[in-house]
């Protein structure tokens, strides 16, 4: 049965397969408690609220007896570190340039469970990053790879570029071989060294508050000043710690073409992105996972990147956003102008626009450390 399940998964386009019991070790549970009590999850309240579910898959579904873990490659030959050098283009994380992975993977999981139900009966629940499931430690138990010092999963066959999904079933399927892979990071610290914000505070420990992926995707507030210049031209996520990992030498081009960029998201001019209104934002990104952050947060990120571009020609465009309806956008427009413009000109604009501003945070952007 195990082999047949694996063959089916591979025939549906998954690249790796494993199966394990729905148990998490004490050290995994402790690490999660430390992570949450130290507030390293930032504003992701859903992590804190569902900590018991994360720690115990049986709380999520009491009938679960086995967890099938699947990995799927999304590498299409991208070189994130090279793309970051073009400051006038916005950098979008590799995983989000194709069709929304939730949709692509869910379809495959449904086909898998329909087939398995017909053949073996049983009940199933499918998860792709959508429920309080500790996918990475479970994948380690199932033998898909190890959690590197950057805390992401690394596969000896795929490197760093793959998605994880899991299927809970009440069937008892056991893999008698222990496929758990030992840690192969060795003395390497490349991911720790490259992180622009030092978010990997020690090997295997990530402070999400500092992580550019968190700041540009999950974080709903004004991006703290101390991280803005470090964000560079990253407007949605960051791939640095994955891209630098030497295990990527084993990465192969993905078979699943739905993860390839839908349109050229490797070369998006910042000025062009700046003018996306709600409708055009939704239209441009409707098939991707980028849509979930909404136009205001996206434009906030674009403005941070413009502030880091050194492109003085874009100031006139940015001025238009000083009166935007969103305080997130107005605040970052002010910051971006301050970054790229002459200080006399900045003060001129401040005198002109400040009377229109009522939001305290945005007002503080006009004054913070600019005197
Ligand atoms: S970059 Fe080095 S330390 Fe970081 S995850 Fe990869 S192998 Fe491990």
- In DSSP notation, 101-115 reads HHHHHHHHHHHHHHH
Residue with CA at minimum distance from ligand 1 atom 2: 188
Tell me, yes or no, whether 173 and 85 share the same domain. Answer: yes
Tell me, yes or no, whether 202 and 296 share the same domain. Answer: no
Query: What is the CB neighbour count within 10 angstroms for residue 168?
Result: 23
Tell me, yes or no, whether 167 and 226 share the same domain. Answer: yes
Instruction: Answer whether residue 266 shows pLDDT above 90.
Output: no
Instruction: Answer whether residue 106 shows pLDDT above 60.
Output: yes
CB of 311 within 8 A of CB of 88?
yes
Q: Which of 246, 248, 249, 251 has the most ligand 1 atoms within 8 A of CB, as the residue to mutate?
A: 246
What's the alpha-carbon Rg for the chain, to the nearest Å? 22
pLDDT at 232: 96
| Mean pLDDT confidence for 117-136 | 93
Query: What is the CB neighbour count within 10 angstroms for residue 204?
Result: 15
Is 149 near ligand 1, meaning CB less than 6 Å away? yes
CB of 10 within 8 A of CB of 17?
yes
Which is more confidently placed, 370 or 91? Answer: 91
- Say how many Å lie between the CA of residue 182 and the centre of ligand 1: 13
CB of 155 within 8 A of CB of 162?
yes
Tell me, yes or no, whether 255 and 350 share the same domain. Answer: no
Tell me, yes or no, whether 15 and 96 share the same domain. Answer: yes
What residues act catalytically?
A: 129
Tell me, yes or no, whether 36 and 180 share the same domain. Answer: yes
Residue with CA at minimum distance from ligand 1 atom 7: 185
Q: Which of 47-56, 139-148, 344-353 has the lowest mean pLDDT?
A: 47-56
Tell me, yes or no, whether 253 and 273 share the same domain. Answer: no
pLDDT at 281: 95
CA–CA separation, 313 and 310 (whole Å): 9
Tell me, yes or no, whether 124 and 79 share the same domain. Answer: yes
CA–CA separation, 191 and 338 (whole Å): 32
Is 244 near ligand 1, meaning CB less than 6 Å away? yes
All residues at 6 or more sequence positions from 193 whose CB lies less than 8 Å from its CB, including other chains: none
Length of the chain: 371
- Say how many Å lie between the CA of residue 205 and the centre of ligand 1: 13
Boundary of a domain, candidates 266, 298, 329: 266
Domain that holds residue 367: 269-371
Is 245 near ligand 1, meaning CB less than 6 Å away? yes
Tell me, yes or no, whether 29 and 171 share the same domain. Answer: yes
- 3-state SS, residue 127: strand
| Mean pLDDT confidence for 191-202 | 97
| Mean pLDDT confidence for 209-230 | 97
Instruction: Answer whether residue 339 shows pLDDT above 60.
Output: yes
Domain count, the chain: 2
CA–CA separation, 164 and 156 (whole Å): 15
Q: How many Cα atoms within 13 Å fall on the side-chain side of residue 83?
A: 23
Boundary of a domain, candidates 266, 296, 321: 266
Tell me, yes or no, whether 201 and 340 share the same domain. Answer: no
| Mean pLDDT confidence for 60-82 | 94
pLDDT tens by residue, 284-334: 999 999 999 999 999 999 999 999 999 999 999 999 999 999 999 999 999
Tell me, yes or no, whether 185 and 284 share the same domain. Answer: no
370 pLDDT band, cuts 50/70/90, is low
CA–CA separation, 357 and 330 (whole Å): 9
Residue with CA at minimum distance from ligand 1 atom 8: 185
CA–CA separation, 169 and 180 (whole Å): 21
Instruction: Answer whether residue 362 shows pLDDT above 90.
Output: yes
Is 247 near ligand 1, meaning CB less than 6 Å away? yes
Tell me, yes or no, whether 114 and 129 share the same domain. Answer: yes
Q: How many Cα atoms within 13 Å fall on the side-chain side of residue 338?
A: 21
Please report where in the chains the tokens 């998006």 appear, as a residue: 268
Boundary of a domain, candidates 248, 266, 284: 266
Q: Which of 147, 189, 249 has the most ligand 1 atoms within 8 A of CB, as the residue to mutate?
A: 189
Residue with CA at minimum distance from ligand 1 atom 4: 191
Residue with CA at minimum distance from ligand 1 atom 5: 148
Share of the chain above pLDDT 70, in %: 99
């Amino acid at each position: 049965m195990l082999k047949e399940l694996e063959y089916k998964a591979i025939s549906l386009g998954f690249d790796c397969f494993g199966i394990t019991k729905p148990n998490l070790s004490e050290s995994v549970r402790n690490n999660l408690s430390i992570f949450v009590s130290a507030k390293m999850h930032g504003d992701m309240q859903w992590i804190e609220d569902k900590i018991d579910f994360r720690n115990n898959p049986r709380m999520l579904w009491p009938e679960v007896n086995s967890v099938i873990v699947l990995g799927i490659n999304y590498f299409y030959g991208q070189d994130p570190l090279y793309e970051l050098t073009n400051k006038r283009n916005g950098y979008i994380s590799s995983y989000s340039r194709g069709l929304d992975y939730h949709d692509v993977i869910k379809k495959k999981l449904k086909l898998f469970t329909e087939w398995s139900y017909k053949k073996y009966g049983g009940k199933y629940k499918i998860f792709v990053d959508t429920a309080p499931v500790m996918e990475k430690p479970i994948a380690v138990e199932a033998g898909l790879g190890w959690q590197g010092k950057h805390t992401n999963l690394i596969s000896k066959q795929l490197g760093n570029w793959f998605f994880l999904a899991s299927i809970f079933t009440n069937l008892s399927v056991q893999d008698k071989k222990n496929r758990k892979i030992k840690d192969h990071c060795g003395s390497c610290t490349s991911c720790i060294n490259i992180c622009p914000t030092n978010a990997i505070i020690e090997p295997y420990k990530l402070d999400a508050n500092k992580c550019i992926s968190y700041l540009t995707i999950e974080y709903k507030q004004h991006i703290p000043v101390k991280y803005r210049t470090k964000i560079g031209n990253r407007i949605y996520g960051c791939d640095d710690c994955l891209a630098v990992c030497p295990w990527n030498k084993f990465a192969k081009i993905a078979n699943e073409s739905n993860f390839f960029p839908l349109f050229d998201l490797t070369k998006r001019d910042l000025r062009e992105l700046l003018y996306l209104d709600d409708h055009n934002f939704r239209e441009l990104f409707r098939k991707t996972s980028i849509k979930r952050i909404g136009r205001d947060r996206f434009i906030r990120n674009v403005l941070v990147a413009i502030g880091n571009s050194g492109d003085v020609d874009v100031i006139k465009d940015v001025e238009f956003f000083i009166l935007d309806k969103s305080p997130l956008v107005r605040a970052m427009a002010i910051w971006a102008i301050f970054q790229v413009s002459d200080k006399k000109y900045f003060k001129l604009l401040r005198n002109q626009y400040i009377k229109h501003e009522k939001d305290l945070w945005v007002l503080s952007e006009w004054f913070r450390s600019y005197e």
